[in-house]
Structure 1
């Protein structure tokens, strides 16, 4: 490429030609001529370049807008990737916090399980002790009832043998 050659023209033109004013050709001819004779290279004549209307009709003339569009698309992709990265980091942090909460909850449940098992063991021990005591009291109560019955029978036998004895006084005292 030579130093004075134009590589591309970066222009964005509307797709619909009717957006140009009706007297557009007149406006194009009224552009003042610029004097570039002071530059060291020879520029081609203005007729060598296509007119704006021709550029608007040719899809190949949109190469500048395509590169701009590509840059904008790349920028959008970078923004989307950054958002994805932030969302991914945020999701990881949220998942980490969730795992920590879950672990803390499991630890609390395990502590509660141990406490309840200990409490249950103590209650079972107390229940067994009370049950043993109850059985012992029932047994002693049964023995005492048998002794009381035997003693009453002995007294009744003694009263029959000695009708006017002072044992009646003893029986009345014992029943009160």
Structure 2
């Protein structure tokens, strides 16, 4: 009897050892599956972040282009206004000269005999 109970306990110990090993393998597989799923989610998050950054960069480049177009239009308008102002200043100077000439003629005519030589 002693011998059979010793074999029985060895057999039981082997079964327990096999069960523990099977349980450890099962936990290892479960952890590996969990890690793979976590890595997959991480890759998806990174891909979404990259897509979001690409979309944002595209939007900012478009906005920059619109601002640049507006800036160029404003610059051109400013140059046009400056050119028009230069023309108007020249016209003002010419008109002042004409007014001065006309005032001199009026003064000359008012000062004397109507501007005609005396006879």
The reply on whether 1:134 has 2:91 as its aligned counterpart is: no
The equivalent of 2:104 in structure 1 is 160
The reply on whether 1:9 has 2:4 as its aligned counterpart is: yes
The reply on whether 1:82 has 2:77 as its aligned counterpart is: no
Q: What are the within-5 Å matches in structure 2 for residues 54-65 of structure 1?
A: 64-65=8-9
The equivalent of 1:121 in structure 2 is 65
Q: What are the within-5 Å matches in structure 2 for residues 11-50 of structure 1?
A: 11=6
The equivalent of 1:99 in structure 2 is 43
TM-score (norm 1): 0.55
Q: Deviations over 1:97-148 (max 9, x none)?
A: 1111111121111111111111111111111111111111111111111211
Q: Which has the higher helix share?
A: 2
Q: Deviations over 1:62-91 (max 9, x none)?
A: x65444333222211111111111111011
- State the 4+ residue runs in structure 1 displaced beyond 3 angstroms: 63-67
The structure whose RCO (Cα within 8 Å, separation 6+) is larger is 1
Query: Which structure 1 residue ranges, 5 or more long, are not aligned?
Result: 1-5, 12-62, 166-176
Rg (Cα) greater in structure? 1
The equivalent of 1:71 in structure 2 is 15
